[in-house]
Structure 1
Amino acid sequence: MCTGKCSMCIGITLYPLALISIICNIILFFPGWDVKYAQKGQITEEVKKLGGLVGGGVMVLIPAVHIHMTGKHGCCANRCGMFLSIILSAVGVAGAIYSFIVALSGLLNGPYCDVGNDYWTTPFKNEKADYLKDRALWEKCTEPKNVVKFNSGLFSILLLVSLLQIILCGIQMINGLFGCLCGTCRDKDKPRQTNITVTSAVNVSL
């Protein structure tokens, strides 16, 4: 596949992934679908680190725009555009890695919740038991409602999305390197089509 077309495919694919990452991070601020917890600051610590919003969102969205636009300039774009896409893709990889680490930490530590008598803590942090496998442990969190399921589901999505972003941005770094070294490639069919048209016109006139 031409490096330009590859860039366009990667850029277009990164758009929804970045959007999903941003939406998931925003939703995580409203456990139990209630705004009162965000107002009181009773939010899981990993949510406040904005891994999905900044890392998997903004830091991936900016490279995605450039990668997509680079693919539009001719078949393989230009050496300068491809070189810049390598740098921006590295930024995207860094952002996606940050989102991945935050999401993984959020899954391992578990949610910040009320365990009774208005005592808020992270009950599953540093525990030997795997709360993700033992759903009976989820009852420790009395508030927000279904917060364990809520957090684990969204953090799992962020984990998967960030992994895909790392792979795609990594591919673009390699693709950009080829585009930078090989330069632009033009559509070679156009001159041939022109020659055929001219030849046909001459034959008709004769």
Structure 2
Amino acid sequence: MCTGKCSRFVGLSLLPMALICMIANLLLMFPNGETKWTDHIAVQVWLMAGLLGSGLFMLCPSCNAIRAGGKGCCGEGCCGNRCRMLRSAFSSIFGGLGSFYCVAVSGTALADGPMCNLNELSGKEAKWGYHLKGLNESYLTNKASWNDCKQPPNIALWHIVLFSILLGIGALQFVLCAFQLINGLLGVMCGDCRKKDKNEG
């Protein structure tokens, strides 16, 4: 597979991943799908790792990779594609930093657990905090501890599923950005093989 086709594949893969991460981050801001809990959500949600790091930051390397897989400004396989490959390689570094940020924040969020209330009271009597963080056994493997959080309802499962999505996609994005960095540099040095393929066809 030539460098141009690889770039297009990477770009088209990163684009839906970025959209999924943005949606996951937005859902984290509304625990249990309700707006009344927005004052009590984990600090990692406000860091916008999915919305920014693996979301908006990923649009630049995605679009550049797709463009690098297209025709250059002066024809196939010449300077135009080499320039686009170079831009794609640089933007992949930017995307890699964004995805690493998402992985770091998501990993911390899964380790700390969600912010929740241990009882069903509200106001001054409510005890909000990261109550699943200080357990002897990790709450991730102790499903019974999820029931300790009364408000928001089902917050532990909500927190785990969405941040796991961000962690997994962020890690995959990092790998794809690293691959595109290498692929882009190869495209700059060796050119695009699609012109050769076309002539052979």
Provide TM-score, normalisation by structure 1: 0.87
Letter in 2 for 1:56: S
Q: Would you say 1:163 and 2:171 are equivalent positions?
A: yes
Q: Which residue of 1 aligns with 2:7?
A: 7
Question: Are 1:148 and 2:156 counterparts?
Answer: yes
The one-letter amino acid of 1:87's match is F
In the alignment, structure 1 residue 34 sits paired with structure 2 residue 5: no
- SS of the aligned residue for 2:37 comes to helix
Q: Matches of 2:198 and 2:42 in 1, distance apart?
A: 58
**Partner residue of 1:70 out of 68, 80, 95:** 68
The worse-fitting range, judged by mean Cα deviation, of 163-172 and 67-76 is 67-76
Specify the alignment match of 1:51 in structure 2.
Answer: 49
- Counterparts of 1:91-102 in structure 2, within 5 Å, are 91-102=94-105
Task: String of CA shifts for 1:112-155, please: whole Å, max 9, x gaps.
Answer: 01112411101122433211111111122110000000110111
1:100-111 matched pairs, under 5 angstroms: 100-111=103-114
SS at match of 2:29: coil
Percent of residue pairs identical: 39
CA 1:22 to 1:75, structure 2 compared with 1: closer, same or farther past 3 Å?
A: farther
Give the C-alpha shift of residue 17 in structure 1: 0.5
Provide the C-alpha distance between the structure 2 equivalents of 1:132 and 1:191, rounded to a whole number of angstroms: 56
Q: CA deviation at 1:108?
A: 0.6
Partner amino acid for 1:124? Answer: L
Matches of 2:41 and 2:68 in 1, distance apart? 40
Q: Which residue of 2 aligns with 1:19?
A: 19
Deviation, 1:192, is 6.5
125-134 vs 62-71, greater mean Cα deviation = 125-134
Moved more, 132-141 or 18-27: 132-141
Residue-by-residue CA offset, 1:14-66 (whole Å, 9 max, x unaligned): 1111011000000000101110111xx21111101000000000111111011
Partner AA of 1:58 in structure 2: L
Q: Match for 2:89 among 86, 89, 103?
A: 86
Gaps of 5+ in 2: none
Distance 2:162 2:68 in 1: 32
**CA shift in 2, pair 1:189/1:94, >3 Å:** closer
Asked if the contact 1:3/1:75 (under 8 Å) is kept, the reply is no
Q: Larger radius of gyration, structure 1 or 2? A: 1
Give the Cα separation in 1 of the matches to 2:161 and 2:129: 20
Higher mean C-alpha displacement, 109-118 vs 125-134: 125-134
| Aligned equivalents of 1:152, 1:48: Cα separation in 2 | 16
Measured after TM superposition, the shift of residue 190 of structure 1 is 5.3
Give the paired residue count: 191
Please point out which of 124, 130, 138 is paired with 1:130: 138
Is this contact kept in 2: 1:2–1:75, CA < 8 A?
A: no
Structure 1: gaps of 5 or more residues: 194-206
Name the CA distance, whole Å, in 2 between partners of 1:138 and 1:59. 33
Partner Cα distance (2:14, 2:52) in 1? 14
Q: CA deviation at 1:189?
A: 5.7
TM-score by length of 2: 0.89
